[in-house]
Amino acid sequence: MKRLNLVRRVLTVVALVFLAASPTWGQIDEMYKDYREVYRDTTDFKPQTKTRAQRDTLFDANRVVTNSFGKNWFVYATGGAHTFRGDYSKDGAFKGTISPDWSIGIGKWFTPGIALKLEFLRSNSRGYTEYMNGHYGYGPVIGNYKGNDYRKMKTTWWDVAALASLNLTRLILGYEGIDSNKRMGQFMLNLGIGGTHHLGFANDYGSDNLWSGHTELQYSQFFNPKKKVSLDLKARGLFYQTNFDHESGMENRVAKKFDSNLGLHAGLTFYLGKARNNGWRGATKIYESDYREREIQVLKIKEQEVAKRTGNHGTLTFFVFYPNNYSGRNDAPIIPGASVNALDYLAGGIFTSKRYVDNEAVAARLRSGASLNGLAIEDLKTERADKDFAIDYVPRGYEMLEGTPMSLSLKADDMAAFREKAGFYYAPIYDGLHTWSYRIDDATLRQQLLSGDNYKETDSYGLNSHYGLGTVRQYMDVDDADELVSFADIYAALNSNNGYIAQFADAKTVAKIRDIVDRGIMTLIQVEGLATSQDNYSGQDAQRIGRERNTALSQNRAATVIQWLNDKDGFRDVASQIFLVDSMNNGIRTVKDKSTRGLNAKLNRCVKVRIQYMID
């Protein structure tokens, strides 16, 4: 017995050495093409890993995280005219109180609704005074219909002020998100305090300084969704204690409590930096996930010796293709009892598999043209695809129908028509910056894609259906000896070839798979995940972070398929040692196309499964 154990240890070490020296699946298969596995052992360890993810609900447009100090700065300039309203402004004609002015400023938005800015104004104020000396008066004495004698007055001044800006549109309706065509016109209220310096005139009492109160109602019209430049229209009021015109109630005169400069102005605001750096993100939460790693020990013997005892053998190969940024890690079967099952979603899901909670609130906003951002959503429970769906008037499933993508229209009429039939409104996934029209993982919610068009599916090639196998075999790595079947074929075989899925599966192929599952013995199930290299993170250590993101995505996709197979008859009793998990091309395939919707990108977001079996 000791000798047998010693031999086993020696063979195990030899096998591990060969595996370590052969890092790729292709090399392993070639080296052991004449061998069959007879022994396998594993050792598991489970390190704690913390990762960051967004909450998987519709983004609350009124809750955002403040940005860093270097972002969301802006500069602006305005020009216009104002009327000075002082103690004697009504003595003469109104046109005699009008003066031009201009201003420049710089500011920063700390949230979408609150900013601070510093402003410099240069102007003069014209009007009238009943003093015959000083008080900024000049020119001859004039009499009016009231019998009052007065002179013209003029004072040149500048003002420096600090103001708080309140974006009323965003505070009331919420932040629209980056690159959004919503909120193209925005109302703002600017309030602040400043200091005014009079430059003075000859024969007057000299220069003067005083405090100023600033109030502005502003309308800003942006020119495109990037919102880099706005045309601003302002109604501005500068208010002072009564002695702006040197009238303070002396010499038995009654002075008004306040003087003011009231005007209308137009100008431009330029937002500095990249448009993507001028957005805000929603709050995040931290959760802990355990990632199990497995060390595998394998022994194999000559194929001929196995065949003497087991009869025929073969390999079934199928691919499961996924939407961008989706692995199912937050859904069933990975999360037991979740309302959305990842593989059922791929086979027959609707849109993002989310719906709005309050139909009446959605209807009211659609009628008024208001944004749906901020309304509560919930997961739409998936159904198994081997049944006839009641909702059969929209495309269902990912890469099932050729030429018909699963993303749905977000136009009010289309959403209302769907609700009329289905009884609810389907919902996108909104992260505060982007609107996703397909299901994604929580952890990928905040990732920004290379193009705004990539947040929606615009084409479908039928890659998950039996009719797409020609395309799959043409472009994917499939051994000539393997029997290639589709995800739809496997899904129908492991559930039933009825209902919706039947139109995408081949009946003969389904029957053969079912026979193998019922009578055969699974000797090895090789599962390989794959993600694309399309990651536009551009911060510090971008290459490593992008690689880690996509590697995790490929591994999570493989884990979802393994868990789904484990839940099915014929695989439920298969020992875990039979499953061998790896990543094609180290989990990442280089895709230079900026589009996540093209064939090249779609082909490389998948899981490849090879089932080696023996059957009498």
- Largest Cα span, the chain: 130
Residue-wise DSSP of 465-478:
SGGGHHHHHHHS--
More confident of the two residues 578 and 367: 367
Same domain, 198 and 102: yes
Q: Are residues 206 and 303 in the same domain?
A: no
Contact present, 259 and 88 (Cβ < 8 Å) = no
Distance CA 605, CA 441 (A): 14
> What is the C-alpha separation between 592 and 73, in angstroms, rounded?
34
Label the pairing between strands 521-532 and 579-589: parallel
Domain end among 213, 248, 278:
278
Instruction: Tell me how many helices (H) and strands (E) the chain has.
Output: 12, 22
Pair 358, 433: CB distance under 8 Å: no
- Asked if residue 543 and residue 569 are part of one domain, the reply reads yes
Pick the last residue of a domain from 278, 301, 327.
278
**Secondary structure in 3-state letters for 267-320:** EEEEECCCHHHHCCCCCEEEEEEECCEEEEEEEEEEHHHHHHHHCEEEEEEEEE
Chain mean pLDDT for the chain = 81
Residue 423 to residue 439: CA distance in whole angstroms: 21
Do 438 and 475 lie in one domain? The reply is yes
* Spatial distance between the Cα atoms of 533 and 600, rounded to a whole number of angstroms: 11
In-domain check, residue 27: no
3-state class of 402 per DSSP? strand
Cβ–Cβ under 8 Å, residues 115 and 103: no
Same domain for 445 and 532, yes or no, is yes
Q: How many domains does the chain have?
A: 2
Confidence of residue 297 (pLDDT cuts 50, 70, 90): very low
Residue 569 lies in a domain: yes
Q: Is the pLDDT of residue 3 over 80?
A: no
Distance CA 464, CA 318 (A): 9
* Full residue range of the structural domain in which residue 455 is found: 34-57+283-615
Whether residues 238 and 314 fall in one domain: no
User: What's the rounded Cα separation, in Å, for the pair 188 and 344?
Assistant: 48
Same domain? For 233 and 374 the reply is no
In terms of domains, do 299 and 157 share one?
no
Contact residues for 535 (Cβ-Cβ < 8 A; gap 6+): 447, 545, 546, 549, 550
In a domain, 173, yes or no: yes
Region 149-163: mean pLDDT is 91
Predicted local confidence at residue 168, as pLDDT? 94
Q: Which long-range contacts (CB under 8 A, 24 or more apart) does 392-395 make?
A: 392/500, 393/421, 394/350, 394/351, 394/418, 395/460
What's 240's domain CATH number? 2.40.160.20
Other CB atoms within a 10 A radius of the CB of residue 333 amount to 22
Model confidence at 74, pLDDT cuts 50, 70, 90, reads very high
CA 448/CA 276 separation, integer angstroms: 9
The answer to whether 600 and 547 are in contact (CB under 8 A) is no
Give the integer Cα–Cα distance in Å for 233 and 470: 61
- Residue 1 within any structural domain of the chain: no
Note whether 387 and 514 are same-domain residues: yes
Out of 134-143, 248-257, 386-395, 459-468, which region has the weakest mean confidence (pLDDT)? Answer: 248-257
| C-alpha span between 301 and 35 (Å, rounded) | 5
Give pLDDT, residue 84.
93
Tell whether 22 is covered by a domain: no
Q: Which of 118-122, 280-284, 453-457, 593-597 has the lowest mean pLDDT?
A: 280-284
Q: Which of 278, 307, 323 is the endpoint of a domain? A: 278
pLDDT number for residue 257: 76
Residue 290 has pLDDT above 50, yes or no: no
157 and 132 in a single domain? The answer is: yes
Q: Are the CB atoms for 328 and 481 separated by under 8 Å?
A: no
Coil, helix or strand at residue 112: coil
586 burial type by CB count under 10 A (0-12 exposed, 13-18 middle, 19+ buried): middle
pLDDT more than 90, % of the chain: 48
Residue 428 maps to a domain? yes
Closest-CA residue to 523 (of 275, 313, 331): 313
Tell me the β-bridge partners of 287: 51
Are 101 and 191 in a shared domain?
yes
Q: Rounded mean pLDDT of 550-556? A: 83
450: amino acid identity, one letter: L
Q: Is the pLDDT of residue 6 over 60?
A: no
Question: Are 86 and 61 contacting, i.e. CB atoms less than 8 angstroms apart?
Answer: no
Q: 124 and 164: one domain?
A: yes
Taking only the tens place, the pLDDT of each residue in 469-497 is: 999 999 898 988 999 999 999 999 999 99
Q: Does residue 436 belong to any structural domain of this protein? A: yes
Task: Note the pLDDT of residue 404.
Answer: 93
How would you classify the pairing of strands 354-356 and 377-379? Answer: antiparallel
* Rounded Cα distance, 193 and 122, in Å: 16
Output DSSP code: residue 333.
T
Task: For residue 338, tell me if it sits in a domain.
Answer: yes
Q: How confident is the model at residue 41 (pLDDT cuts 50, 70, 90)?
A: very low
pLDDT above 60 (res 130): yes
Alpha-carbon distance of 248 to 241, in angstroms, equals 9
The stretches of 21-149 forming alpha helices (DSSP H) are 25-31
